[in-house]
Structure 1
Amino acid sequence: MSIIRSVPVFLPLALLTVLAGAVVVGPLVWPIDPYTMDFAAILAPPGPGHWMGTDSVGRDVLARFLAGGRLSLSVGVIVMLGGLVPGAIIGVIAARAGGIVDMVLMRAMDSIAAFPPILLAMAVAIGLGGGLWTAVIGVIISTLPFFARLMRSEVLRIMSHRFVDAAESMGATPAFILLWHVSPHAASTMLVQCAAVFGYAIITLAGLGFVGLGAEVPTAEWGVMITEGMKYALTGQWWLTVFPGLGILVAVSAANLLADGLSATMGGRHA
């Protein structure tokens, strides 16, 4: 077993919980508007008055870090659920219908999966005009094959078990079997995929924000904060990029470790 897979599940889960709690409760402890400019404190280094320093127009970096964390984590959940629900439905329909329906749906998923996810998300964001929510739509579309193909394989695997045959022989309807037999058994595998997609969504949306196709200036978002701080990276103002970068690193690493830990705990099935 690899070192990553030996990490207990509760550690990355606790890390994500602490990060989420910090960005939610943080404004109560640090009630500074992330968009308020203070031209008397431009590019101030981290210190007692500004624990993470200030940016090029005097905005408090800690306040923007907390606001960006709330946005990034919330959007990660939206992408995760936005890909899970339609993707799982497509997978169930393909597995149960079979034949031409299965072929058409899976070829459609293959067509989406043929594009590198980040390029597909960029193409959708550009086609819809740019901005945070168009980027979200692009990332959701790129996650559909992950969920659809996994759900299809899980339904086919579970439907081959004898307890399903027993339920059918007792007169159980297909809807009852899917709800009470297939869904509980597929939930663990889909949970692993959700954790992986959550981390993927955060880093992809930050990347889109970095290249100007996601959240836009002056929105407090980690990718945008890194973009704004890059011009000062070589002049000593390290805090402008380091802190949002650490936020992304912690969130994505914890999500990936959680996915690996869940996969190992649930029998080694990969998302």
Structure 2
Amino acid sequence: MFFGRPSAAAASICLLVLIALAVFGPVIWNKDPAAVDVASALQAPSGAHPMGTDASGRDILTRFNHGARLSLTIAPLVVVVGAFFGGLVGLVAGVFRGWSDAVLMRIMDAVLAFPPLILAMAVTVGMGVGVTSAAVGIMLTSIPWYARLLRSDALSIRSRPYIEAARALGAGRARIVRRHVLPHVVPTLLVQGASVFGYSILTLAALGFVGLGAQSPTAEWGTMITEGLQYAITGQWWIVAFPGLGVFLAVTAANVLADRVQAVLDPRAGGRA
């Protein structure tokens, strides 16, 4: 996956392992992620604590699993919400054109004018620091990407001969969109969705890292990295390494799968993943 040509199979396995840890980890390794045990603080990985403990004696494997559950719950929500609203905006702008296209795209351009992370941080601060506001901020930044891509696809599709034929046969705009436009934009949604999935995990971790996402004692990978940074330089590497590895694997796997999906769906790629 990380050497030579990226493998979709390896990326899929990485994501499946992380999903399994998120779903079954808290059940099998049933410990309280917020339980403080000062006597067990800063213990290296061992049989009792496979990923070690942090400065408060909390089991890192438990917190890693709960952090995976949080990230892998929010990321799909961002993908679905962004695809729905962004796709709706893009289709309306691309199919109906005119004033709706001008107004909607200017709004999307205004959102795109801000760096995504800065905008997500601003939304989080405005709504109040926490996981929910961080998720809303990430969703907002993902909408213009979908809108721009779907509008481009809709503009290309609406000028094709079969669309003209459907109009000549009396098909209305709603039927044309449902029967002839939507099926052709699904590949774009799939590729963009895979990219947004990785972006969501990375941005959620970044917001947690700067203190705007999940707040302690909530287990979240970015927050765990922040809490462990001061101990990494004194030799307690495991506090930062494991949540950092989780972010790295999840984001890399999502990006590899996005590339492979695009290769399969793009005719110019020859259908090879």
Q: Give the TM-score normalised by the residue count of structure 1.
A: 0.94
Cα–Cα, structure 1 residues 249 and 260, in superposed 2: closer, same or farther, change >3 Å? same
Instruction: Select between 173-182 and 163-172 the one with higher mean Cα deviation.
Output: 163-172
Gapped regions of structure 2 (runs ≥ 5): none
1:170 shift after superposition: 2.4
Amino acid at match of 2:62: A
The answer to whether the Cα contact below 8 Å between 2:34 and 2:58 also exists between their aligned partners in 1 is yes
Q: Distance in 1 between matches of 2:7 and 2:36?
A: 43
Distance 1:82 1:253 in 2: 22
Return the alpha-carbon distance in structure 2 between the equivalents of residues 158 and 96 of structure 1: 9
User: Which residue is 2:252 aligned to?
Assistant: 253
Question: Which residue of structure 2 aligns with residue 135 of structure 1?
Answer: 134
- Specify the alignment match of 1:53 in structure 2: 52
Structure 1: gaps of 5 or more residues: none
Greater mean alpha carbon deviation, residues 20-29 or residues 97-106: 20-29
Q: State whether residues 210 and 226 of structure 1, in contact with CA within 8 Å, keep that contact through their aligned partners in structure 2.
A: yes
Give the conservation status (yes or no) of the 8 Å contact 1:263–1:269.
Answer: no
- Cα pair distance change 1:4/1:151, threshold 3 Å: farther
* Structure 1 residue identity aligned to 2:250: A
Q: What is the alpha-carbon distance in structure 2 between the residues aligned to residue 8 and residue 252 of structure 1? A: 14
d(CA) in 2 for partners of 1:28, 1:175: 47
Cα offset, 1:18, TM superposition:
2.3
Alignment of 1:202-221 (within 5 A): 202-221=201-220
Using the TM superposition, give the Cα deviation of residue 119 of structure 1 relative to its aligned residue in structure 2, in angstroms: 0.6
What does residue 20 of structure 2 align with?
A: 21
Q: Secondary structure at the match of 1:56?
A: coil
Give the counterpart letter for 1:185 in structure 2: H
Question: Which string of whole-angstrom CA distances, capped at 9 and with x for unpartnered residues, describes residues 34-72 of structure 1?
Answer: 112222211111000000001111110000000000001
Distance in 1 separating the partners of 2:199 and 2:91? 24
Q: Which amino acid aligns with 1:168?
A: R
**AA of the residue aligned to 1:63:** T
How far 1:5 sits from its partner (Å)? 10
Q: How big is the alpha-carbon RMSD for the aligned residues of Structure 1 and Structure 2?
A: 1.9
- Tell whether the 8 Å contact from 2:38 to 2:57 is kept in structure 1 after alignment: yes
Shift of 1:148: 0.4
- Structure-2 separation of matches of 1:175 and 1:86: 17
Contact 2:221 2:243 in 1 (8 A): yes
Displacement of 1:25 in angstroms is 1.2
Matched-pair contact (CA < 8 Å) for 1:13–1:258: yes
What residue in structure 1 maps to residue 118 of structure 2? Answer: 119
1:148 aligns with 2:147: yes
Deviations 1:233-269 (A, max 9, x none): 1111101000000000000000011111111111178
CA distance in 1, matches of 2:10, 2:235: 34
The equivalent residue for 2:264 is 265
